[in-house]
A and B are shown apart, each in its own frame.
Chain A
């Protein structure tokens, strides 16, 4: 976040990537589209993860965005890509507004425990922890909704599988692989996943999840802060995460 690329450099990279896409074969283009759309959801999960929550439910907003766009677009004949993405984002965001405040109350139950931030301490500072979680949740839902619109455009169809939790699991995988520190890392991670998936489908169709699982364990073990940590240095000194994490260390003195 703090030591990321200069915004202008980022826009430059984006333009370069878009122009580069013209000379690449088309299969890489559709792969990159899917990867970018998945990365958007994973980005939402990363945003949410900064409050200490991991959501296996982003597929819901993903599907909401996709279905919303599909229904509205076919009803009113909207074909403009930008409008479709906005529709998707609005659909996801609206549902997020409904569900977010509810979920924030039970974040401890739904996502695993709220440990990244100590929410009681946050509240002592006069900030509502629930509100922070809610706002982040809605942001994540908007991203997922927009991504649903992208996925719809890339794949030209949508089915209930979009909302199933194993679909969401893949987005969580991308978020974990990327880590919480860099936005660019999310897109790199998503692209890596799509590449591995394409080649796995070719060479090892029945062991694709096995590869994914082993890879996930490897990342958690050896790269606990994701591939983002390869180029974004944390301000804190590098040491073992068990010692580094103040919350974990604190558990020893609790109650």
Chain B
């Protein structure tokens, strides 16, 4: 029983940060129809920036709580600026071309960011563990957990709810949904689609790098971080259905549980398990679990 609970809790902790990453990916795809290969790089960028913020705060002998806040704020500011500038400065030039072209552009961005992080932060592992002790240790049904890990779960849930609420219950959200459903019609109704694009992309980057920041105290930052994360988040959005918030949540939970289960039962099959779930879902629902079938365009 305890063993089962361990897997579920570990899975949910994994799912929490994966969900935040996948949410950004699915949002960018929904609005801009871009499958963003560089999404993992933004996660890595967030993690690295967070590390710098945390170590700077620690160097000034300030408490870890200040470091925690500092890393979130600095990542939020830098990431949304990077996202906005990238969309306005680069992606915009390729609108109207094949979706495959945009995919390749994001691949180029991935390559560039990979080396930019190396140039700024070097190739050796970086740690930012100070905030990890912030919430102490928690005993939960006989199991000991790091409080920080458990806190991630409500944070992810809150972010998910905020996005869902923002999309479905606010005017801005309705406008974004309108652009997702039919861009042409939105333009003719007076929606400034360009602005929605820029905001959505910046927001997607923000989510990826926030997830990076939140996981930064748990992991070591080193090259290769981004290419692993993008695989996981692709799997999640494919399972859940590209462009769907609920799908990202269910996909993240499935992938998180699969990872946790295979780590405890069969470590060498970790990635294979995820692909197995993905293949199983796609066998029966090629569009993913939560995406509505769309009419094929002639």
Residues of A within 8 A of B (CB): 49, 52-54, 56, 102, 105-106, 109, 111-113, 115-116, 118, 120-121, 164-166, 169, 172, 176, 206-210, 212-214, 216-217, 220-221, 224, 241-242, 245, 247-248, 251-252, 254-255
Contacts and interface: CB of A to CB of B under 8 A. Distances in A.
Contacts of B296: 120
B105 interface: yes
A217 B115 contact: no
Contacts of A105: 286
B97 A241 contact: yes
B157 interface: no
B115 A172 contact: no
A79 to B, nearest CB: 32
A249 to B, nearest CB: 9
Contact of B116 (A56, A115, A210, A212): A210
Contact of A52 (B33, B100, B231, B298): B100
B150 interface: no
Interface string B172-196: 0000000000101000000000000
A109 B286 contact: yes
B93 A221 contact: yes
Nearest to A243: B96
B104 A54 contact: yes
Contact of A166 (B98, B104, B109, B227): B227
18 contacts: A49-B100, A52-B100, A109-B282, A113-B100, A115-B98, A115-B100, A120-B297, A121-B298, A166-B227, A209-B112, A209-B114, A210-B115, A213-B114, A217-B108, A220-B101, A220-B104, A241-B97, A248-B97
Contact of A208 (B93, B102, B115, B297): B115
Contacts of A247: 98
B238 A248 contact: no
B241 to A, nearest CB: 9
A210 B298 contact: no
Interface in B80-96: 90, 93-94, 96
Contacts of B102: 112
Contacts of B287: 109
B264 interface: no
Nearest to A123: B296
Contact of B112 (A106, A214, A242, A254): A214
Interface residues of B, number: 43
A216 B227 contact: no
B98 A248 contact: yes
Contacts of A221: 93
Q: Which of A52, A210, A245 has the most CB of B within 10 A?
A: A210
B55 to A, nearest CB: 21
B28 to A, nearest CB: 13
A113 B99 contact: yes
Contacts of A214: 108, 112
Contacts of B94: 220
Given A165-B231, A216-B108, A252-B184, A207 B101 contact: no
Contacts of A207: 115, 118-119
A217 B106 CA distance: 9
Given A121-B298, A241-B97, A109 B111 contact: no
Nearest to B101: A220
Nearest to A113: B99
B145 interface: no
B103 interface: yes
A102 B280 CA distance: 11
Given A209-B114, A213-B108, A217-B108, A109 B100 contact: no
A54 B103 contact: yes
Given A209-B112, A216-B107, A120 B98 contact: no
Contact of B104 (A116, A120, A176, A212): A176
B222 to A, nearest CB: 13
